[in-house]
């Protein structure tokens, strides 16, 4: 049970768990750059030993995320993908993994390029299809099922509680990349997931100025300790400055995500009514195939991510992207500034089913009117 049980997550986030410097009363932690820490006079070990094993700023960020996710523990990593792939690194030769498709392309790329070489077997299923998930699990051999919700770049939403039941019946662990839902909108561990993953580079950091990843666990198990061993021995630990920025970002997480959800809804409604737009994918729209499950599972909004396809194809999509001025033509997501990208261009050589005309947008905290006017001018050019 948490020692902060009587406080709302918004309060805990805003105060980074109420941290205060014991000697000066400073309300903001210093950045502790030291890579090594002295032993006690009796040669015993202090809380910190060597920075690759963990350091004060990283431990603070981990404590904040653990609290927001209702987790028993959290670990920070040098990037989102270092966090996503850590559970796979902790598996043994011959283990079987099930991964939803589509999910963030980097996870698929890692599984395709490295899983087999490491003696892992991988099965895929269509994200959102629970029957296909059940069929993909090999009871006794499947160790991890990897999902993302809402999932890049089509924003399918999977019923996490129903998925957890199926995964646990098959004897596997459910890991969810919850980067785009954030702990503001969805609590996967409460819904039955075992491990939740964040590309903290995105919403948790929130300002496009820190590369970081995090995992949080419902229980501290032997497998979780093995993930921690992997991080220490692979050296994918988060640096002090990054951890400091990440904690600072998480203080405004709720405000940012609330505004991003409101802006995204306005942008999605505008696009859905536009005669030159063939399709909008946003779980907040009542017409979206994932709306019902998203409304049940997501609290307070449907996130800041959406995709749309202008009429025409790749060429028209790229023209829209390059015509935007307020939206910046860049990959990534979750920052305060709105970004727009032609997704197939960003996915590079990864094999995906992303439609050629698909444009992914990450909605920031700007005035929604400016965002809509920008898209309006860009769509007028096709
Ligand atoms: C960006 C992203 C990642 C990878 O994070 P990096 O910090 O770029 O390594 C993983 N999952 C999702 C959903 C992402 O958006």
Per-residue pLDDT tens over the stretch 110-135: 999 999 899 999 999 999 899 999 99
Tell me whether residue 274 is in a domain. Answer: yes
Q: How far apart are CA 163 and CA 367, in angstroms?
A: 37
| Residue where a domain terminates, one of 250, 275, 301 | 250
Q: What tokens were used for 245?
A: 């920025």
Closest CA to 346 of 81, 104, 77: 104
DSSP per-residue codes, 215-235: EEESS--HHHHHHHHHHHHHT
Mutate to test the pocket of ligand 1, among 82, 87, 153, 201 (most ligand atoms within 8 A of CB): 201
141 included as an active-site residue: no
pLDDT tens for each residue of 166-215: 999 999 999 999 999 999 999 999 999 999 999 999 999 999 999 999 99
- Do 167 and 33 lie in one domain? The reply is yes
Tell me whether residue 1 is in a domain. Answer: no
**C-beta neighbour count of 320 within 10 angstroms:** 27
Contact in structure between 279 and 308 (CB atoms under 8 Å): yes
| Residue where a domain terminates, one of 250, 267, 295 | 250
Tell me whether residue 315 is in a domain. Answer: yes
Write down the pLDDT at residue 45. 93
Write down the pLDDT at residue 3. 77
- Do 45 and 163 lie in one domain? The reply is yes
- Do 193 and 82 lie in one domain? The reply is yes
- Do 201 and 348 lie in one domain? The reply is no
Task: Determine phi and psi for 233, rounding to 5 degrees.
Answer: -85, -25
The residue segments making up the domain with residue 286 are 254-379
Tell me whether residue 2 is in a domain. Answer: no
Write down the pLDDT at residue 348. 85
Mutate to test the pocket of ligand 1, among 81, 180, 249, 348 (most ligand atoms within 8 A of CB): 81
Ligand 1 pocket by C-beta < 6 Å: which residues?
Answer: 79-81, 84, 104, 106, 148, 152, 177, 179-180, 199, 201-202, 211, 213, 333
350 pLDDT exceeds 80? no
Q: What is the mean pLDDT of residues 62-71?
A: 98
Q: What tokens were used for 257?
A: 């995500």
Name the one residue in this structure whose structure tokens are 């992914």: 360
- Do 210 and 262 lie in one domain? The reply is no
pLDDT confidence bin for 380, thresholds 50/70/90: very high
Contacts of 183 (CB under 8 A, 6+ apart): 9, 65, 68, 69, 253
The CATH number linked to 134 is: 3.40.640.10
Tell me whether residue 4 is in a domain. Answer: no
- Do 207 and 93 lie in one domain? The reply is yes
8 included as an active-site residue: no
104 included as an active-site residue: yes
DSSP SS3 for 267: helix
pLDDT tens for each residue of 17-58: 999 999 999 999 999 999 999 999 999 999 999 999 999 999
Tell me whether residue 3 is in a domain. Answer: no
- Do 27 and 130 lie in one domain? The reply is yes
Tell me whether residue 364 is in a domain. Answer: yes
| Residue where a domain terminates, one of 250, 283, 317 | 250
> How many residues are recorded in the chain?
382
* pTM strictly above 0.85: yes
Write down the pLDDT at residue 123. 98
- Do 202 and 303 lie in one domain? The reply is no
- Do 237 and 258 lie in one domain? The reply is no
DSSP per-residue codes, 31-85: P---SB-PPPTTS---S--BGGG--HHHHHHHHHHHHHHT-SEEEEESSHHHHHH
**C-beta neighbour count of 35 within 10 angstroms:** 11
- Do 166 and 112 lie in one domain? The reply is yes
Active-site entry in 10, 52, 141, 328: 52
How many structural domains comprise the chain?
Answer: 2
Q: What tokens were used for 35?
A: 């890579």
- Do 236 and 261 lie in one domain? The reply is no
Q: What tokens were used for 109?
A: 């790329």
2 pLDDT exceeds 80? no
143 included as an active-site residue: no
Strand partners, 218: none
3-class SS string, 108-165 = HHHHHHHHHHHCCEEEEEECCCHHHHHHHCCCCCEEEEEEECCECCCCECCCHHHHHH
295 pLDDT exceeds 90? yes
Mutate to test the pocket of ligand 1, among 77, 82, 83, 84 (most ligand atoms within 8 A of CB): 84
109 pLDDT exceeds 90? yes
Ligand 1 atom 6, closest CA: 80
The CATH number linked to 332 is: 3.90.1150.10
Contacts of 240 (CB under 8 A, 6+ apart): 31, 32, 33, 51, 55, 56, 57, 58
Task: Determine phi and psi for 279, rounding to 5 degrees.
Answer: -155, 140
- Do 219 and 180 lie in one domain? The reply is yes
Tell me whether residue 72 is in a domain. Answer: yes
């Amino acid at each position: 049970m948490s020692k902060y049980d009587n406080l709302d997550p918004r309060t805990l986030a805003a105060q980074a768990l109420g941290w205060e410097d014991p000697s000066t009363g400073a309300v903001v932690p210093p950045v502790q750059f030291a890579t090594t820490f002295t032993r006690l006079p009796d040669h015993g070990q202090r809380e910190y030993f060597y920075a690759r094993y963990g350091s004060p700023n990283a431990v603070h960020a981990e404590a904040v995320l653990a609290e927001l996710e209702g987790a028993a523990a959290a670990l920070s990593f040098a990037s989102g993908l270092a966090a996503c792939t850590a559970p796979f690194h902790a598996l043994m030769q011959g283990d079987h993994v099930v991964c939803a498709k589509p999910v963030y392309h980097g996870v698929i790329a890692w599984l395709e390029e490295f899983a087999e070489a490491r003696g892992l077997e991988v099965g895929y299923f269509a994200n959102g299809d629970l029957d296909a998930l059940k069929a993909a699990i090999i009871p006794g051999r499947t160790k991890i099922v990897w999902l993302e919700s809402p999932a890049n770049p089509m924003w399918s939403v999977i019923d996490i509680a129903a998925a957890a039941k199926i995964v646990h019946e098959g004897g596997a662990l459910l890991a969810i990349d919850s980067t785009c839902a954030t702990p503001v909108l969805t609590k996967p561990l409460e819904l039955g997931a075992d491990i939740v993953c964040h590309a903290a580079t995105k919403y948790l950091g929130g300002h496009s100025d820190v590369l970081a990843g995090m995992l949080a666990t419902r229980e501290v198990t032997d497998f979780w300790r093995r993930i921690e061993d992997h991080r220490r021995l692979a050296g994918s630990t988060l640096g002090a400055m990054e951890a400091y920025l990440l904690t600072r970002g998480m203080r405004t997480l709720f405000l940012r995500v609330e505004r991003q959800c409101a802006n995204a809804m306005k942008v999605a409604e505008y696009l859905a009514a536009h005669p030159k737009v063939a399709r909008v994918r946003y779980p907040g729209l009542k017409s979206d195939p994932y709306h019902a499950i998203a409304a049940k599972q997501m609290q307070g909004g449907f996130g800041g991510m959406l995709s749309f396809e202008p009429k025409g194809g790749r060429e028209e999509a790229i023209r829209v992207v390059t015509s935007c001025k307020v939206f910046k033509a860049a990959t990534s997501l979750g920052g305060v500034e709105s970004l727009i990208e032609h997704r197939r261009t960003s996915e590079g050589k990864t094999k995906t089913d992303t439609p050629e005309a698909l444009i992914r947008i990450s909605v920031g905290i700007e005035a929604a009117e400016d965002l809509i006017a920008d898209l309006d001018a860009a769509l007028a050019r096709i």
